[in-house]
Chains A and B, each alone.
Chain A
Amino acid sequence: MTTSVYNRTIGELGAMLRSGETTPTELTRMYMERLDTVAREYNAVVTITEERALREAATAEAELAAGQDRGPLHGIPWGAKDLLAVEGYPTTWGAEPFRNQSFDTDATVVRHLRDAGAVLVAKLSMVELAGGMGYRQPNASLTGPGITPWAADTSPSWSGGSSSGSGSAVAAGTVGFAIGSETWGSIVTPAAFCGITGLRPTYGRVSRHGAMALSWTLDKLGPMCRSAEDCALVLAAIAGHDPDDPTSSRRDFVWPTAHRSRGFRFGVLSDATLGVQPEVRANFEASLAVLEEMGTVDIVKLPDLPYNETATAILQGELAASFEEFMTSGDVRQLTAPEDRVNGLAALALPAHVYIRAMRIRGLICRAMDELMENVDALVIPTLPTVASPIDQAFDRYFDRSNRSPLGAAANVAGLPGIAVPNGFGERGLPTSLSFVGRAWDEATLLAIGRAYQERTHWHTRFPLE
């Protein structure tokens, strides 16, 4: 069966452009039309950037025709989570009080992708303020609840957040790839619930300049795509030091690397499947059988440290600083989710010594995680204990948060990279997901693992829509 143009990978779309099977302008128009119809059904779109898209597509077309090839992203339509500044368009942060906010310059990531020849077609929806105010149910955005395209007709379910639109738009075949962000779960969760591949890079790998800051030492930007290979291509375009973001690293990200499909060392957390749904467990165990073909699989245990509390204290301290005036002025009362209007207030009085203690423990966590991973290439775990929750339910009604592994907190506190790949289906026909967490700065190994896993399985080639 021929894959629909809407579900093709970056490499496949690029081949179509270079063979003349389609043009950047034609492809862009097709994707914009699908964004305006299909993606809106999932509340995935804030703004279609039509004028800019057509201009960039025309430039890409002329350049490719003249033999000026900027690389694999040239002419590929993409979407930006709406916390990324794009000149000339609103940047709403998913929040009603910022509906008409705009900036007069592009975020660095947006500029990198423009320089790579990619075509920006949309600002994609997100949970208001990247979820920092403590939302507890799906309806927490000015664009309404994010809906995963999977089983939407029979069992409408949450897309995951806070990069909700990025997840849905990629899964629904309405962008070639998207850029999302993660402070604590916001790339891997929608990747899991939408059945796509999401990469959370090492903190500092990608410049945050021009992105809304929720938590300066936790926020990361990363690609959300239809495959690990696609994530690698996008990361190669957006990674690198930026003088406008002093936290961005000068370390190189090199891709492609020599093709590696085996010889990996995996560390499976000893409590990886504690409290997970039966299908999540079954799919995880099937995934482990695949990993055993790819290398060695050992059981490991996280050191006993307060990961969740450390992450919470850091996040609360920094969001109180990011949004102090927003909260004290009362503008917070305009947020969509009722709990978002009050849940963040206590952070305003988090004592400095609590935050600093968390930052001291952070150092212990960073070293402990690196020591744990000395003899493994990646830690392995189900991305989430459940499939997506029903769209009309509070999260706590569907899954017990205490069942969530502390690896998410540990990885984000330590700034470690992670990749989530689809690994099957579960309850209500919704996708399940597998996560790998790597050592700091080792995205290349993580992406090689993701690619090798996807060469042996084909979950990433299943799409909810043609």
Chain B
Amino acid sequence: MSAERQSEHEDVDDRLTEAIATAVEASLSYELDDEARQVLRDTAKRHQQLARKLRETPLTNADEPDFVFVPFRAEG
């Protein structure tokens, strides 16, 4: 990966990470201390990297998620 592309990824990662961490903090009924806030951001950043790795696997529209929804109907 070129240095420029790497830099673009990191920039997006940082903005997304901050947005995600802010969203999580907003959902909590309590405040995090500085250490916890950093752990949250570090984890969120790893999730960005994880998501990018998953996007490297090509999928077609026909590749369905591996669960099957079956409409329910009671017996009788």
Question: Are A342 and B57 interface neighbours, CB within 8 A?
Answer: no
Question: Are A354 and B63 interface neighbours, CB within 8 A?
Answer: no
Within 8 A of A (CB), among B2-27: 20-21, 23-24, 27
Question: Are B20 and A361 interface neighbours, CB within 8 A?
Answer: no
- The 0/1 profile, CB within 8 Å of B marked 1, for residues 303-322 of chain A is 00110011011001000000
Nearest CB in chain A to that of B31: its residue: A330
Question: Are B67 and A217 interface neighbours, CB within 8 A?
Answer: yes
Nearest CB in chain B to that of A355: its residue: B65
Instruction: Please name all residues of chain A whose beta carbon is closer than 8 Å to the beta carbon of B21 when the two chains form the complex.
Output: 346, 349
Question: Are A359 and B65 interface neighbours, CB within 8 A?
Answer: yes
Question: Are A354 and B51 interface neighbours, CB within 8 A?
Answer: yes
A48-56, A114-122, A362-370, A451-459: which lies at the interface: A362-370
Question: Are B40 and A360 interface neighbours, CB within 8 A?
Answer: no
Within 8 A of B (CB), among A328-361: 328-330, 333, 339, 341-343, 345-351, 354, 356-361
Nearest CB in chain A to that of B36: its residue: A342
Instruction: Please name all residues of chain A whose beta carbon is closer than 8 Å to the beta carbon of B39 when the two chains form the complex.
Output: 339, 342-343, 345
The minimal Cβ–Cβ distance linking B46 to chain A, given in whole angstroms, is 8
Query: In the complex the two chains form, what is the Cα distance from A349 to B43 in whole Å?
Result: 11
Question: Are A361 and B57 interface neighbours, CB within 8 A?
Answer: yes
Query: In the complex the two chains form, what is the Cα distance from A349 to B28 in whole Å?
Result: 12
* Set B23, B29, B40, B47: member contacting A354, Cβ < 8 A: B47
CB-CB under 8 A for A346 and B29, given A309-B50, A357-B55, A360-B59? no
* Set A306, A312, A351: member contacting B57, Cβ < 8 A: A306
Given A361-B57, A363-B66: 20 more A-B contacts, CB < 8 Å: A306-B56, A309-B50, A313-B50, A313-B54, A316-B47, A333-B30, A343-B39, A343-B43, A345-B39, A345-B40, A346-B20, A346-B40, A349-B24, A349-B27, A351-B51, A354-B54, A359-B66, A359-B67, A360-B63, A361-B54
